[in-house]
Amino acid sequence: MENQQKLFKGELMEELLRNYFLSLGYYVVRGVKFQYQDFDVSDIDLYLYGRASSLTRERINVDIKNKKSPQVFERIIWANGVMKLLGFDSCIVATTDEKPVIHSFGQLHNTVILDGSFLSKLRGKEIIDRFSEEELLAELSKHKSYKTYNKDWRYLYENSKSKLLNEQDYSGFNSTLILLKYFVEKSLVDVQKAEIATRMIYILLSHLLVIMDFILKDIAFLDTSIRMKRISEGLNYGNLGKDGVNKIIEIAYQIAGKNVVFSHQTNLDILIEYFSKLEISKKMYSWAKEFETLGYSKTFTNPNLIENIGLKGPLFVILDYMNIERRKFFNQYENAKSSKENEIVNDDLKSLNEKTKTEFEGNENNIDDSKIIKDSKEIVGKGNVRTKK
């Protein structure tokens, strides 16, 4: 990925605020589409998710207007409406307006105001070692998705983000799991797309962990056996639960006039056992933030080089659930690295041959054979390539 894209004023402010809230410890997603039955209803500039304790979570929508005429009163009313519609805990309006009255109006309507004075302090800050949303979307637009007709990878990514607004439940978890599997498989079969596919694995895995973290807040202090049962019913039957699905099966039986079989995914036991562990539930929020950082970092980190060993746990579990060999998944990055090194070696050898040919044609009698042999050995050594004697 290349960092070439220039951001407009509004986009830059959204990125600066995203980094500000990340520094406060929130999990932050930018540019989330509020969808209803495949229709895009509206956009949420920033979605903030915070874990205050084992029992409480905080969800906040942020509206950002970096304009000369921000119409702040309308934005406060709009942000409040979105907050209530989505069942969030609070809302924030960031505006260039500096009038004192906007704070009292915001306080009256339970809205935090970040005014022009605050925003001006952010403008001088740099966005360090992170791709912007526009840069990521530009890269995703290069890859067609044969999973969805006439769409590219942006569609899959936007779809996953939208789950965080109104599907932070078992339905959203299962849907995100399907999207995650798509990118895991892409990383294995297409070397050219492996890096961007891996970034999407990191980002979607962070979405998955945030959804499960939100689910677990309601069952955190139940006995392990009961917690496992609740998670099992949720992953197997979705939001309807076992009773709800049984009712649907009963109705289907009455209509069809024959037995209707509901099949369970046996591999779900792997996820059920893992996510029911109390020690895992305590780490999911921090893991989600770390995976998000890996996905957006300008320096690509392949899974073998992840410093936090704990992050490999959820990755292992997802691979096991998908029946993908761990060794096969992790080895692909070593193979890609070796292939890249050999390409570099071949390019260097080609350059050396051209240089030698030029020198030879220019002065046939003064060629230093020992220097050529030495240069060749140094180049070959870069790729750890052995030459036959």
Q: What is the pLDDT of residues 309-350, one digit of tens each?
A: 999 999 999 999 999 999 999 999 886 655 454 444 455 555
Q: Evaluate if residue 388 carries a pLDDT over 50.
A: no
Give the pairing type, strands 39-51 and 57-65.
antiparallel
Least confident stretch, 134-138, 145-149, 159-163, 169-173: 145-149
Query: Dihedral sign, CA of 327, 332, 334, 338?
Result: positive
- Please state the length of the chain: 389
Q: Residue range 254-273: average pLDDT?
A: 65
| 262: its two tokens | 């509901």
Q: Is 170 exposed, middle or buried (0-12, 13-18, 19+ CB in 10 A)?
A: buried
Banded model confidence at residue 227, pLDDT cuts 50, 70, 90:
very high
Residue 277 neighbours by CB under 8 Å, 6+ apart: 224
- Give the count of beta carbons closer than 10 Å to the beta carbon of residue 108: 9
Residue 215 neighbours by CB under 8 Å, 6+ apart: 168, 169, 170, 173, 231, 234
341 CA to centre of own chain: 28
Query: What is the model's pLDDT at position 369?
Result: 55
| Biggest CA-to-CA distance, the chain | 96
Q: Which of 203, 192, 268 is nearest to 28 (CA)?
A: 203
CA atoms within 13 A on the CB side of 207: 34
Q: Evaluate if residue 260 carries a pLDDT over 50.
A: no
Q: Per-residue pLDDT tens for 230-247?
A: 999 999 888 765 554 444
Query: What is the model's pLDDT at position 280?
Result: 95
Phi-psi region of 71 (alpha: psi -120 to 50; beta: other; left: phi over 0): left
Banded model confidence at residue 19, pLDDT cuts 50, 70, 90:
very high
Instruction: Tell me how far CA of residue 286 lies from CA of 26, 27, 210, 279, 280, in angstroms.
Output: 10, 9, 10, 12, 11
Q: Look up the pTM and report it.
A: 0.81
Query: What is the model's pLDDT at position 86?
Result: 95
**For residues 252 and 299, which has the higher predicted lDDT (pLDDT)?**
299
**Rounded Cα gap, residues 227 and 219, in angstroms:** 6
Q: Which of 232, 238, 304 is nearest to 272 (CA)?
A: 232
Q: Residue range 87-104: average pLDDT?
A: 95
Q: Residue range 349-366: average pLDDT?
A: 56
pLDDT over 70, % of the chain = 76
20 CA to centre of own chain: 18
Q: Which of 157, 115, 110 is nearest to 292 (CA)?
A: 157
| 77: its two tokens | 């009313």
Q: Evaluate if residue 263 carries a pLDDT over 60.
A: no
Q: Per-residue pLDDT tens for 367-385?
A: 555 554 555 555 445 444 4
- Give the count of beta carbons closer than 10 Å to the beta carbon of residue 80: 19
Q: Evaluate if residue 251 carries a pLDDT over 80.
A: no
Query: What is the model's pLDDT at position 151?
Result: 85
Q: Compute the chain's Rg from CA coordinates.
A: 26
Query: What is the model's pLDDT at position 253?
Result: 43
Helices and strands (H, E) in the chain, number of each type: 16, 7
- Give the count of beta carbons closer than 10 Å to the beta carbon of residue 58: 13
Query: What is the model's pLDDT at position 353?
Result: 60
Task: Find tokens 């500096």 and name the residue.
Answer: 98
Instruction: Tell me how far CA of residue 88 lies from CA of 59, 171, 284, in angstroms.
Output: 5, 19, 21
Query: What is the model's pLDDT at position 259?
Result: 52
Q: Per-residue pLDDT tens for 161-218?
A: 999 999 999 999 999 999 999 999 999 998 889 999 999 999 999 999 999 999 999 9
**Rounded Cα gap, residues 81 and 224, in angstroms:** 38
pLDDT over 90, % of the chain = 63
| 319: its two tokens | 């691979």
Q: Evaluate if residue 363 carries a pLDDT over 70.
A: no
Residue 132 neighbours by CB under 8 Å, 6+ apart: 5, 7, 11, 15
Domain with residues 9-130, CATH architecture: 3-Layer(aba) Sandwich (3.40)
Q: Residue range 268-283: average pLDDT?
A: 94
Banded model confidence at residue 145, pLDDT cuts 50, 70, 90:
confident
**Rounded Cα gap, residues 95 and 67, in angstroms:** 8
DSSP letter assigned to residue 384: T
